[in-house]
């Protein structure tokens, strides 16, 4: 499955995967506005054998098929029972 990955200036460490290239037809307008002007960072071929650094490739492929996009958000870190976005620890 061919897909492209985009990022926007408004949300650090958030990445939007879409099938093919520049196919935002099924991405909610509110999400596009939230991310801001998108810049393509990567195009790749997804398969179950491929490893992704921050996402499960099967979940990404399923989301692309079912909803037309996948939004990767930063992982969260728990410290003393409280949940923090990982980038707040840098």
Domain ranges of the chain: 2-89
Query: Are 41 and 7 spatial neighbours (Cβ–Cβ below 8 Å)?
Result: yes
pLDDT given for residue 75 in this prediction: 78
Reported as a single tens digit per residue, the pLDDT across 25-77 is: 999 999 999 999 999 999 999 999 999 888 899 999 999 999 999 999 987 65
pLDDT given for residue 34 in this prediction: 96
Query: Are 18 and 64 spatial neighbours (Cβ–Cβ below 8 Å)?
Result: yes
Model confidence at 16, pLDDT cuts 50, 70, 90, reads: very high
Q: Model pTM? A: 0.82
Nearest to 44 by CA among 73, 15, 87: 15
Q: Which fold has domain 2-89?
A: NE1680-like fold (3.10.510)
Kindly tell me if the per-residue pLDDT of 86 is higher than 50. no
């Amino acid at each position: 499955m061919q897909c492209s990955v985009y990022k926007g200036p408004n949300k650090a460490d958030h990445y939007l995967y879409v099938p093919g290239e520049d196919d935002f037809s099924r991405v909610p307008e509110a999400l596009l506005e939230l991310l801001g002007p998108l810049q393509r960072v990567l195009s790749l071929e997804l398969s179950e054998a491929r490893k992704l650094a921050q996402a499960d490739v099967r979940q990404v492929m399923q989301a692309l098929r079912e909803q037309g996009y996948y939004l990767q958000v930063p992982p969260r870190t728990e410290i003393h029972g409280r949940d923090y976005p990982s980038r707040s620890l840098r």
